[in-house]
C-alpha cells in the first residue's frame, strides 16, 4: 500500500507545524517507516532538529528531506510513496503554490491553531483554500489541531466555538497544552515522548492514535497526478 500523506499547514509562523510534525512522526515511527519533508526552506527548523538528533542518537524508521520548490516537493512525494508508511509534510508560513500543492498531495491536512480570536480570523483565508482544494482532491480530510490550549478558560472555549462557525473545519478531539516540554525537547533533537512531562506524552500519543484511525478509515486513494497538482498549485481548479 502507498504511504499515507499527512501535512501541517498554517499561514502563520510559530503555530506549531514543526513541533507537531516531529512529535507525531516520532510516535508513528515506533511501528512504521516515516519520511518527513521540510518545505520551510531556508528556515529549515525540521532539518535542523533532525541533524541535532542524528549527532546524538541512532535514528530508526525516520528520515527528513527538504523540498525547496514545487518540482522538488512533487518528486519527493512521488518517489517515496512506495517506500514509506507515512509521509509527513511540514508546511511553510505563507500561502503559496507549495501550500496549495501540499493540500492536493495530502490525505489529511492538519491546521495547528492556538485559541486566540486573531488566529481564528487569520485562518479564514486558509479555510477558503482548503474548501477549494477539497473540490479538486475529493478524499482530502482536514482537521484543526488546537495547540497551546489553556484548559478551563472561558475565552479558549469561546474561541473554539467561533472557529467551528467561521472556519467550518472539524477539530481533532485532543488539544495540546502550552508546555515547555515541547520547546525544550525540540531544542535537544528529542520529542515529548522522550521527555519528563507525562501529560505531554499522553496527549501526543492520543493525538497520534486518533490520526492513525482517521487515516485507516479513509482507505486507499490514488494520489493526484503531477498535472492536477500543478494546475491547482497555480491557482486553477
Ligand X SMILES: Nc1ncnc2c1ncn2[C@@H]1O[C@H](COP(=O)(O)OP(=O)(O)O)[C@@H](O)[C@H]1O
Residue 148 and residue 162: Cα distance in Å, rounded? 17
The nearer residue to ligand X, 134 or 177, going by C-beta atoms, is: 177
| String of DSSP letters for 108-156 | EEEEEE-S-HHHHHHTHHHHHHHHHHHHHSTT-EEEEEE-SB-TT-HHH
CB neighbour list of residue 191: distance below 8 Å, 6 or more residues apart: 22, 23, 26, 27, 185, 204
183 binds ligand X (CB under 6 A): yes
Residue 96 and residue 114: Cα distance in Å, rounded? 22
Using the rule CB under 6 A, which residue among 7, 18, 99, 137 binds ligand X?
A: 18
The 24-63 site mask, x for binding Mg ion (CB under 5 A), equals ----------------x----x------------------
Binding partner at 110 among Mg ion, ligand X, none, C-beta below 5 to 8 Å by kind? none
Q: Please, are residues 63 and 22 in contact by the beta-carbon 8 Å criterion?
A: no
18 binds Mg ion (CB under 5 A): yes
Minimum CB–partner distance for residue 188 and ligand X (Å): 11
Q: What does the binding site for ligand X look like in residue numbers (CB under 6 A)?
A: 10, 13-19, 45, 93, 147-148, 176, 178-179, 182-183, 186
Q: What does the binding site for Mg ion look like in residue numbers (CB under 5 A)?
A: 17-18, 40, 45
Amino acid at each position: 500500500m502507498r504511504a499515507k500523506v499527512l501535512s501541517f499547514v498554517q499561514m502563520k509562523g510559530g503555530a506549531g507545524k514543526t513541533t507537531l510534525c516531529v512529535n507525531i512522526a516520532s510516535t508513528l515511527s515506533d511501528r512504521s517507516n516515516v519520511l518527513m519533508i521540510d518545505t520551510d526552506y531556508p528556515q529549515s527548523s525540521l532539518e535542523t532538529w533532525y541533524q541535532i538528533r542524528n549527532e546524538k542518537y541512532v535514528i530508526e524508521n525516520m528520515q527528513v528531506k527538504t523540498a525547496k520548490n514545487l518540482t522538488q516537493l512533487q518528486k519527493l512525494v512521488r518517489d517515496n510513496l512506495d517506500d514509506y508508511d507515512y509521509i509527513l509534510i511540514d508546511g511553510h508560513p505563507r500561502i503559496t503554490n507549495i501550500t496549495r500543492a501540499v493540500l492536493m498531495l495530502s490525505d489529511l491536512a492538519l491546521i495547528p491553531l492556538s485559541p486566540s480570536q486573531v488566529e481564528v480570523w487569520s485562518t479564514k483565508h486558509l479555510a477558503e483554500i482548503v474548501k477549494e482544494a477539497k473540490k479538486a482532491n475529493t478524499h482530502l480530510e482536514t482537521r484543526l489541531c488546537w495547540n497551546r490550549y489553556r484548559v478551563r478558560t472561558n475565552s479558549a472555549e469561546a474561541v473554539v466555538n467561533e472557529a467551528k462557525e467561521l472556519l467550518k473545519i472539524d477539530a481533532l478531539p485532543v488539544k495540546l497544552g502550552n508546555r515547555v516540554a515541547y520547546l525544550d525537547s525540540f531544542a535537544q533533537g528529542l520529542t515529548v515522548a522522550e521527555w519528563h512531562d507525562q501529560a505531554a506524552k499522553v496527549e501526543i500519543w492520543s493525538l497520534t492514535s486518533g490520526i492513525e484511525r482517521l487515516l485507516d478509515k479513509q482507505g486507499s486513494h490514488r494520489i493526484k497526478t503531477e498535472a492536477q497538482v500543478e494546475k491547482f498549485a497555480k491557482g486553477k481548479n
